[in-house]
Amino acid sequence: MLSTLLSQIINGLVLGSLIGLIALGYTMVYGIVQLINFAHGEIFMVGAYGGLAMFSYLLPTALKNQWYFALPILLIAGAAVSVLVAVAMERLAYRPLRGAPRLAPLITALGVSVALQEAVRVFYPNATAALPFPNIFVPGTLIIPFGDGIPIRYSAMLLVVVSLALAFALNSFVERSRMGRAMRATAQDPDVARLMGVDPDRVIVLTFALGGALAGVGGILYGGLYNTVNIDMGFQNGIFAFTAAVLGGIGSIRGAIVGGLAIGLVKALGGQYLPGGTAYDYVWIFVVLIVVLVFRPQGFFGETERVRA
Amino acid sequence: MTTIEAPPSAIVTPPRSRLDALWAALAPRATMLRALAGVLTIIGTYLPWATFVLNDGPYPEKSTLNFFVDPFGVTGYRLHLLVIGIAMIVVALVKLPAAGRIIRGLGWGTVAVSVINILYLTIAGGGLGTITASDGSVAFGAIVALLGGLLAVVGGTAGGLGTKPELTWKLAWWVEWLILLVVFAIVLFLVAGVLTSGGQGGVVNPYAGPVFLLVLGALGGAISALSASGLLTWVSAVSERHRLFSVVVLLVVALLLPLTSAGTEYWMTVAANIGVYAATAIGLNIVVGLAGLLDLGYVAFLGIGAFVAANLSGAAASEIGIELPFPLVMIISAVVAGMFGAIVGSPTLRVRGDYLAIVTLAFGEIFVRSAQNNIGGLTGGANAIPNIPAVSAFGQSFAAPLTIGAVKLPSGVLYYVLIVLLVAAVMLIFANLKNSRLGRAWIAIREDEDAARAMGIRTGPVKILAFMIGATLAGLAGAFFAHKTGVAAYDSFQFIQSVTLLASVILGGMGTIPGAVLGASILFVLPEKLREFTDYRLLIFGLALVVIMRFRPQGLIPDAHRRAELAPDADDVTPVVDVKK
């Protein structure tokens, strides 16, 4: 009983740190250009497929079983593919719409999302069905001797550690570095930032690239954890991540991680204990999303609601 | 964009960009370029287009609107190109206002036709060899026509686009009625022709997709040329003068569709499905187009209507198992959907803009998930609710063929008639709402919510009403949909359908009735026609959304107000004052 609860909490935290990692991309982009980058979930998905392609077609067979070679290579490949797609998306789809009426970029984002998902489905070999993803880390499961035993997979631990480390790194980048300061300045007031010598276009591209890199890494970690990838994973997890970003307070890095963990817990515990079981666990997340947006749109760590036209 | 007026000596503004400099340099030769474009197009028409016969039989010959039978030795898209080419030459040589604009429109049409052909022939035929040369035979037709089209665009722009003339002819009322009758008759035949062009898609006719696209391309060119000549604006002004007459004739014309070439069971079904989505899109247009509230879960209301109807119509799979008469079922479905609309709309009291879009998306997802899990035994889950009985009246089942005197009509006609009436009713509701106090309140909220509130509009109830009314209309359509298809299944109501509906409202033009209908027609006919491209359908759809937002965010038939706000370059804007009088 208690061990079920604990293992569900652990499941929730693992999923939550993944969602938090994706949420960082949402929160940064929204903080700077006030755009719900709907396609961000697909960036995550594209990263997973990029890593899978690297593993299946490029990686020498000798290295495939040595995770300390394969893992960094896959992470870099996934991140690279995601960054590429994210930057291309910003340049081709979003930049021309800067200053357009507010519905236009959101609809563009929907279009990009559908197009990316379909592009992978059509052009990636056999992507119409879910594809197996290699185990990229120490295989097996650690069993914590408590009650009936609480299993934790090593790849789940990897996911949590990498996610939190990346979030921490991102936080220090934004807080400490010169470019980070430029990002914060642009988020506060793009016009004044420009007067102070910040190039908003560069900041925006950097934001998309950073978000893309995190999502790409997330995609690889997701594949490694669940050993399967499919083209819907971006949409689902993207929505969860968006919920997490809002829940934590959009624009806040800390908030994205905390929000992600909360969403992960809602899914795991809701699926276990709420009526309807796992068939309805998605529903609970959406309910949380609605409740948060309606009653506390500024989230946990957000500033008081900005009035937007 | 800088417009350089016709006499090249009188350059109004100095060239601003390299492109403008090019136009200025080409301006003296514009007439020659335009005529040459026409000649090239005609030459391209008569050249061979493919070097071999495709596996599925001779390709171009099938490309024909079936009421033109081979008048000049060419059929299908070649006939269209021939007509376009002749038109180019005539317009180039005859002095017309806005000649440049007309030629540019025709040019884009030609470009569309040749590009579609090039793409299809090279993909289906396997490589560029198909359109250039192989086996000693030469097939440069597509390339020559493409050059002709591009030249027309260049020549049209270079010689000055000219301003779209405002025709103010007023004729005797009966002449205008006659003109309207002729115009609507042409529209009827065009609709029938376009709908059936290429035939039924899929295995039956592998060329249905490209042929349909070719017809659309040629028609698009022709329409943009007509619109540039000012004739379309004039006709719509005339029909505005005889509003009631136009509405009645249009309704009759729509009801006559079963008597044209589209009068087979298959096309009636397609037309009825278009009608369902058109009605739903008009409902969505209230929420998005008028009130400016982005709804990403709208198809849920269509689904709610369908499931309510499925449960109340005596379907064996329904756990409720009562059977009510169809009109009552429709009303109940609409009311229930409307109630859900109010629920989904209630967050608008606190949430705005993008956040509201996400809230509606969440509601849509909750609906799909719940329906998938057969919530309360009401939706059948993965098994859906099949075998919903067909509507019947006076002993005549709507799913059966109909015989009136000597006229035999295919099955599905009655459903078609019903949906036409339904769409007409929905249009009427929309048009009246738009011009009502409530409609103006919605538009005010769309433009600036704070200002609207300051003007004394109670924004909360007004916004919820938008959701409620929109959902009610979708619920009506849903009840019809359930009976027409006989099945209510959760996977007809997923996120992608919501996006498609939204896209059809945007593609057509937000806030207008013809826009929503046109958008819904295009987006729901295309998949029927492009069966063999099913794989690429959504990919193209996603890219198309991006491109539309980039180049024509105001849609194909923009609303006068929105046109002023959203138009990317000022020269397409008709001043709002003129339109409103």
pLDDT in tens, B48-96: 776 655 655 556 555 544 444 445 566 677 788 888 888 888 888 887 7
Single out the residue of B95, B242, B257, B229 nearest to residue B167, CA to CA: B229
CB spacing of B546 vs A282 below 8 angstroms: no
Q: Which distant-in-sequence residues (6+ apart) come within 8 Å of B553 by Cβ?
A: A100, A101, A104, B506, B566, B568
**pLDDT reported for residue B6:** 45
Tell me, what DSSP letter sits at residue B556? S
CB spacing of A119 vs B539 below 8 angstroms: yes
Cβ of residue B359 closer than 8 Å to a chain A Cβ: yes
* Cα separation, B130 vs B118, whole angstroms: 9
In chain B, residues with a C-beta closer than 8 Å to the C-beta of A118 are 536, 538-539, 541-542
In angstroms, what CA-CA distances link B97 with B91, B158, B160? Answer: 10, 15, 11
Nearest to A293 among B296, B351, B545 (CB): B351
Q: Which residues pair with A142 in a beta bridge?
A: A152
**pLDDT reported for residue B4:** 44
Mean pLDDT confidence for B426-438: 89
In chain A, residues with a C-beta closer than 8 Å to the C-beta of B536 are 118, 122
To test the contact with chain B by mutation, choose from A27, A36, A94, A107 the residue with the greatest count of B C-beta atoms within 10 A, namely A107
pLDDT tier, A308 (very low <50, low <70, confident <90, very high otherwise): very low
Contacts of B574-579 with CB under 8 Å at 24 or more apart are B574/B164, B578/B166
Tell me, what DSSP letter sits at residue B574? P
Single out the residue of B291, B321, B298, B327 nearest to residue B457, CA to CA: B291
Mean pLDDT confidence for A61-79: 85
**pLDDT reported for residue B335:** 94
**pLDDT reported for residue A164:** 92
pLDDT digits (tens, 9 = 90+) for B152-172: 888 888 777 777 777 777 778
In chain A, residues with a C-beta closer than 8 Å to the C-beta of B544 are 111
* Cα separation, B75 vs B81, whole angstroms: 10
**How close A248 gets to chain B, by Cα (Å)?**
14
CB spacing of A111 vs B369 below 8 angstroms: no
Among positive and negative, which fits the CA dihedral B319, B323, B326, B331? negative
**pLDDT reported for residue B7:** 46
Nearest to A111 among B355, B361, B549 (CB): B549
**How close B404 gets to chain A, by Cα (Å)?**
47
Single out the residue of A178, A131, A138 nearest to residue A156, CA to CA: A138
Single out the residue of B59, B573, B519 nearest to residue B289, CA to CA: B519
Specify the amino acid at residue B448: D
Residue B579 has pLDDT above 90, yes or no: no
CB B161 within 8 A of CB B100: yes
What does the block give as tokens for A59?
Answer: 């990686």
**pLDDT reported for residue A211:** 94
In chain A, residues with a C-beta closer than 8 Å to the C-beta of B555 are none
CB B509 within 8 A of CB B282: no
Residue B24 has pLDDT above 50, yes or no: yes
Q: DSSP per residue over B82-113, as a string?
A: HHHHHHHHHHHHS--TTHHHHHHHHHHHHHHH
ipTM for the complex shown: 0.86
CB spacing of A242 vs B538 below 8 angstroms: no
Average of per-residue pLDDT values in chain B: 79
Nearest to B294 among A103, A239, A308 (CB): A103
CB spacing of A290 vs B363 below 8 angstroms: yes
In chain A, residues with a C-beta closer than 8 Å to the C-beta of B351 are 293-294, 297
pLDDT digits (tens, 9 = 90+) for B460-512: 899 999 999 999 999 999 999 988 888 888 888 888 888 888 888 888 888 78
**pLDDT reported for residue A24:** 92
Instruction: Give the angle B128-B134-B135 at the CA atoms, nearest 5°.
Output: 160
The chain A residue lying nearest B351, using CA atoms, is: A294
Least confident span in A112-126, B355-369, B553-567: B553-567
**pLDDT reported for residue A69:** 83
CB spacing of B543 vs A286 below 8 angstroms: no
pLDDT digits (tens, 9 = 90+) for B498-516: 888 888 888 888 878 888 8
Helices (H), B286-412: 299-312, 326-345, 353-372
pLDDT digits (tens, 9 = 90+) for A14-25: 999 999 999 999
Q: Which residues of B, range 520-549, sit inside 8 Å of A by Cβ?
A: 535-536, 538-539, 541-546, 549
In chain B, residues with a C-beta closer than 8 Å to the C-beta of A92 are 546
CB spacing of A104 vs B549 below 8 angstroms: yes
φ and ψ of B133, to 5 deg: -145, 140
- Give percent of chain B with pLDDT exceeding 90: 11
**pLDDT reported for residue A143:** 81
CB spacing of A118 vs B553 below 8 angstroms: no
pLDDT digits (tens, 9 = 90+) for B362-380: 899 889 888 888 777 777 7
Residue A198 has pLDDT above 60, yes or no: yes
Residue A306 has pLDDT above 50, yes or no: no
pLDDT digits (tens, 9 = 90+) for B306-353: 999 888 877 777 777 777 888 898 999 999 999 999 988 888 777 777
**How close A228 gets to chain B, by Cα (Å)?**
22
Size of interface A-B (CB pairs under 8 A): 127
**How close B19 gets to chain A, by Cα (Å)?**
19
Q: Kindly give the pairing relationship between strand B407-409 and strand B402-404.
A: antiparallel
**pLDDT reported for residue B56:** 59
